[in-house]
């Protein structure tokens, strides 16, 4: 079977992937986009998005992604359901194999596979998804003004989320499984000094309860070897125990940090492989916002077009 060829292949269908598709489509690159594991990306599990510019009344996460998808399709992007399962970026054209068995030969590749927030694995996290459970304080914190929330984790993300939420909520519990915070000293200090934040060291959240949404969490405290179980009323439960960037199949070729985030040339989406770009959360351990992802998708498509032009492969 002969491989399919394309000037621009985009992997991933979050704001980065679709924005890259809009720009690449309008530049006549006839891009192909594979939607990946979670079509529409992380925003499809968010209820209201109020911080994406252009929506004064906010917009539902799935509705926003449907709009971006339709906009990408309007400019000729060939959007396919499917997951990239193997990559050969050893030489150009780059070869990506999808789970339908097709191999695509691409002159340029835009990796926009995102990152997946880690969850504790509790059944209640699924049960209350979108009803009080969130993995993004910047996205959902606003709904908890003057309420009580919990953040799970002891790293920089957890501290940052706890501090952000402390600016909105009346009370924030930081649930930390060890007896210390792993976060940088400055973040630790800010958390410890914030009057609205109470750090619950040596605690694990083991369940949630509530009739029509989260009303509290079940906790397990390690009291010097003895386990103490108790419940604490909360309105929102935020996970901040890390993200896993979806970079596994590309990692042998591109440069990644120790967590797996793809490292790009500062300020650009360029990876160390010419014509291979990384956009959105897969290359962003810091901001991880829909709008920053969209912006980097735009940059990636512009760079792809430039690369094709410079290498004489545009036509
Ligand atoms: P980290 O891996 O640094 O921290 C994860 C935290 O979650 C740890 O405290 C860990 O506990 C805890 N954890 C993990 N699994 C569980 C579990 N199953 N139950 C309970 N707790 C759990 O992830 P971050 O997302 O915080 O940070 C990732 C990287 O990004 C880091 O290098 C960080 O410094 C960086 N970062 C930088 C920022 C900045 O500079 N502004 C902002 C945010 C992140 P334990 O300690 O026990 O393992």
What is the reported pLDDT for 46?
A: 67
What is the reported pLDDT for 47?
A: 67
Residues 6+ away with beta carbon under 8 Å from 268 = 299, 303
* CA–CA separation, 307 and 259 (whole Å): 29
Same domain, 103 and 130: no
Nearest residue by C-alpha to atom 28 in ligand 1:
242
Query: Where a domain ends, among 198, 222, 239?
Result: 239
* Catalytic residue, candidates 48, 124, 140, 281: 140
**Largest CA-CA distance found in the chain, in angstroms, rounded:** 70
Same domain, 101 and 249: yes
Cis peptide, bond prior to residue 229, ω within 30 of zero:
no
What is the reported pLDDT for 45?
A: 66
Query: Where a domain ends, among 199, 216, 239?
Result: 239
What is the reported pLDDT for 225?
A: 83
Annotated catalytic residue 139: yes
CA of 304 to the centre of ligand 1 (A): 33
Query: Where a domain ends, among 218, 239, 260?
Result: 239
What is the reported pLDDT for 139?
A: 82
Same domain, 93 and 48: yes
Task: Give me the CATH number covering residue 277.
Answer: 3.50.50.60
* CA–CA separation, 83 and 37 (whole Å): 6
* Catalytic residue, candidates 8, 48, 124, 139: 139
Atom of ligand 1 nearest to the CA of 178: 47
CA of 258 to the centre of ligand 1 (A): 13
Pocket of ligand 1 (CB under 6 A): 120, 152-158, 160, 177-178, 182, 241-243, 259, 285-286
In a domain, residue 315? The reply is: no
Annotated catalytic residue 231: no
pTM for this predicted structure: 0.78
- Residue 253: which domain range? 4-116+243-310
In a domain, residue 149? The reply is: yes
DSSP assignment of 288-311: --HHHHHHHHHHHHHHHHHHHHHT
Same domain, 148 and 180: yes
Total tally of structural domains belonging to the chain: 2
Helix or strand (DSSP H, E) at 111: strand 103-111
Both tokens of residue 246?
A: 């979806």
Same domain, 90 and 130: no
* CA–CA separation, 90 and 76 (whole Å): 29
Same domain, 128 and 179: yes
Digit-by-digit pLDDT tens for the chain (315 residues) are 678 999 999 999 999 999 999 999 999 999 999 999 888 888 876 667 888 999 999 998 899 999 999 999 999 999 999 999 999 999 999 999 999 899 999 999 999 999 988 999 999 999 999 899 999 888 889 999 999 999 999 998 899 999 999 999 999 999 999 999 999 999 999 999 999 999 999 999 999 999 999 999 999 999 988 999 999 999 999 999 988 999 999 999 999 999 999 999 999 999 999 999 999 999 999 898 899 999 999 999 999 999 999 999 887
């Amino acid at each position: 079977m002969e491989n399919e060829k394309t000037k621009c292949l985009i992997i991933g269908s979050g704001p980065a992937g679709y924005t890259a598709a809009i720009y690449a489509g309008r530049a006549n690159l006839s891009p192909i986009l594979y939607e990946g594991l979670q079509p529409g990306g992380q925003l499809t599990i968010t209820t209201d998005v109020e911080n994406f510019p252009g929506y004064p009344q906010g917009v539902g996460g799935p509705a926003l992604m449907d709009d971006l998808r339709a906009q990408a399709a309007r400019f000729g992007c060939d959007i396919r359901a499917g997951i990239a399962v193997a990559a050969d970026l050893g030489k150009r054209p780059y070869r990506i194999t999808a789970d339908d068995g097709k191999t695509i030969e691409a002159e340029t590749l835009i990796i926009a596979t995102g990152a997946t927030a880690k969850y504790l694995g509790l059944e209640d996290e699924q049960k209350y998804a979108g009803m009080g459970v969130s993995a993004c304080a910047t996205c959902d914190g606003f709904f908890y003004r003057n309420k009580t929330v919990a953040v799970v984790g002891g790293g920089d993300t957890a501290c940052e989320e706890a501090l952000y939420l402390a600016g909105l909520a009346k009370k924030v519990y930081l649930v930390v499984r060890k007896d210390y915070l792993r976060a940088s000293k400055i973040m630790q200090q800010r958390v410890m000094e914030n009057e609205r934040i109470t750090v619950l060291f040596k605690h694990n959240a083991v369940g949630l309860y509530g009739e029509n949404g989260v009303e509290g969490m079940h906790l397990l405290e390690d009291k010097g070897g003895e386990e103490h179980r108790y419940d604490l009323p909360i309105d929102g439960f935020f996970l901040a125990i890390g993200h896993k960037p979806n970079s596994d199949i590309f990692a042998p070729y591109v440069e990644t940090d120790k967590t797996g985030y793809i490292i790009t040339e500062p300020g650009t989406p360029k990876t160390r492989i010419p014509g291979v770009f990384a956009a959105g959360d897969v290359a962003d351990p810091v901001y991880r916002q829909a709008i920053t992802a969209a912006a980097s998708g735009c940059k990636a498509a512009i760079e792809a077009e430039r690369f094709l032009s410079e290498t004489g492969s545009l036509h």
